[in-house]
Amino acid sequence: MFVINKALNFQTVSPQTSMLQCAKSSINHRSKYILRQLLLKFQQPHANYGRPPFNNRCYNDDDENNVNRHVRKKNENQDDRLQLYKSLGQHLLTNPRVIDSIVNSSGVGPDDTVLEIGPGTGNLTIRLLEAAKKVVAVEVDNRMVEVLKNRASECGFCEKLTIICKDALKADFPDFDLVVANIPYGISSPLVAKLVFGGYHFRNATLLLQKEFATRLLANPGDSEFNRLAVNVKLVADVEHVMNVSKKEFVPIPKVDSSVVKICLKTEIPDVNLNEWWAFTKTCFGKKNKTLGATFRQKKKVAELLNLSRFKGSSEDIVQHESCNECDNEEDECNILGTDVNLFKEKLVGIIRTAGLEDKRPSKLSNEELMYLLSLFNQAGILFHDQEKPRDINASFAGL
C-alpha cells in the first residue's frame, strides 16, 4: 500500500499501520463530538438547579400510560419553572397512580363540592375537577394560583374551580361535602383541629399527611404514640388509615414518608365544654407517662388551678400565679403554699382517688375515663380554662 508524504514521495507501509492510523483518526473525531455534546448540555440553563431529578414511573406502553407519560412530562416542566419553598410545605405529589388512589378512596362523586388545601400546581386538583361538581382550592402562594388557573383553563374546568388565595388557618371555608388535600406538614395539627372543631359539616376528609403525624393521629390508648392530638380529635371524629406513600413520589423529595388517612365526623358528639376539655387534656398530657396523682400534686399546677377555680368577681386572689414561676416540681420550696393551697391540693387528689385513677397514666386512659374525671372536677367547682377568655383553636393545637 502506498501513502503520499509531505515531499510527495511514495513509501510503502504495511496494512496494519494504515488500519491503526484510520482508527486513531476515527477516535479523535468521536471524542470531539462527545465533548461538543457535553459542552452544549452543561451550557443549557436550568431553572431550579439542585432539585432532585423527576422519575417517570410509567411501566406499561399502552395508550393510556402514554398519555399519562405526556401529562407528567408537561407537569414536570411546569414545576421546574417555579422555585418550591419547603418552608411553605411545597412538596408536589407527582405519581398519577397515587393521586388516583387518593381520589378514589375519598368517595368523591359528581354532586360533591370538594375543599382542597394547598393545591400547589394542581396535580391533584385536576383529577378532583374531573370527578367532582366543584372544587374550592385554598392556596397562599400567588404563583401557584396563576399556574392553577392556567391549568384549569386549558382543561376546560374554569367554571368548576374556585380559588381562595389566603392562609388556610385564617380563611373562612364555604360549604363543602368533602376535604381532599395534600396538607403542608407545618400546619397539619391546627388545620385538622380547624376542620373537626370548626363547626363545618362534611362527609369525610381524606388527607395526605406526614407519616409520623398520621401515626400519632391514629394511636389508641396504650400505644406508645398515644397523645393529646389523638385524644382531642377522637372526641369528635373517627380516623382510619388508607395507605402509605413513599417520599420518592414528591418533588422535591421530603425527608420523610407520608400516609393517607380518612377522618369522619361522629354523628353524636359528647356533651362536654370544649374549652375545658382542651385545657384539661393539656394538663394531663403535659407529661403523659406521669401518673395523674403526681401531676395534680405539682405546686405550680395546684396554684394555677386554684386561681382559675376561684369565684369570679372576688377582687383578691388566694394565690398570685405570677409568684409560681419558679415552682416547677413537687420538691421546690415555695413560700406561697399556705393552708388554702394545701387543702386545695388534697381536694384535687381526693377527686382523682374517687375516680380510681390516682395511679393511672393519661396515655393508658380512654376518652370516656378522661371525660368522667373532668366531670368530677367541674362538679366540684374546679376549672381548667379561664371562662372570661375565649380559647383559640389554632393556639390550642399548634405544635401537637
In degrees, to the nearest 5, what angle opens at C-alpha 50 toward C-alphas 47 and 52? 100
246 neighbors 94 (Cβ within 8 angstroms): no
Amino acid identity at 390: P
Q: What string of H, E and C letters represents the secondary structure of 353-398? A: HHCCCCCCCHHHCCHHHHHHHHHHHHHCCCCCCCCCCCCCHHHHHC
Residue 40 has, within 13 A of its CA and on its CB side, a CA count of: 6
pLDDT by residue, tens only, the chain of 400 residues: 444 444 444 444 455 555 545 555 555 666 666 666 666 555 544 434 333 333 333 334 444 444 344 444 444 444 445 676 555 667 899 999 999 999 999 999 999 999 999 999 999 999 999 999 999 999 999 999 999 999 999 999 999 999 999 999 999 999 999 999 999 888 999 999 999 999 999 999 999 999 999 999 999 999 999 999 999 999 999 999 999 999 999 988 999 999 999 999 999 889 899 999 999 999 999 888 899 999 999 988 999 999 888 644 333 444 444 444 444 544 443 444 455 888 999 999 999 999 999 999 999 999 999 999 999 999 999 999 887 776 666 666 666 6
Q: Tell me whether residue 332 is annotated as binding.
A: no
Q: Tell me whether residue 139 is annotated as binding.
A: yes
324 neighbors 298 (Cβ within 8 angstroms): no
Q: Tell me whether residue 167 is annotated as binding.
A: yes
- pLDDT number for residue 7: 44
Q: Tell me whether residue 118 is annotated as binding.
A: yes
207 neighbors 263 (Cβ within 8 angstroms): yes
Contacts of range 316-319, beta carbons closer than 8 Å, 24 or more positions apart: none
Return the beta strands (E) in the chain as ranges.
Answer: 2-4, 10-12, 92-93, 113-117, 134-138, 161-164, 178-182, 204-210, 237-245, 250-251, 258-265
- pLDDT number for residue 77: 45
Cα separation, 301 vs 181, whole angstroms: 39
DSSP 316: S
For residue 177, give the nearest of 130, 234, 116 by alpha carbon. Answer: 116
Q: Tell me whether residue 93 is annotated as binding.
A: yes
Amino acid identity at 381: G
Cα separation, 340 vs 302, whole angstroms: 11
The DSSP H or E segment spanning 267 is none
- pLDDT number for residue 42: 53
Phi first, then psi, for residue 301 (nearest 5°) are -70, -40
Q: Tell me whether residue 130 is annotated as binding.
A: no
For residue 174, give the nearest of 103, 264, 265, 113 by alpha carbon. Answer: 113
- pLDDT number for residue 392: 65
pLDDT digits (tens, 9 = 90+) for 56-95: 333 344 444 443 444 444 444 444 456 765 556 678 999 9
Cα separation, 232 vs 192, whole angstroms: 11
CB atoms under 10 Å from CB of 144, counted, come to 23
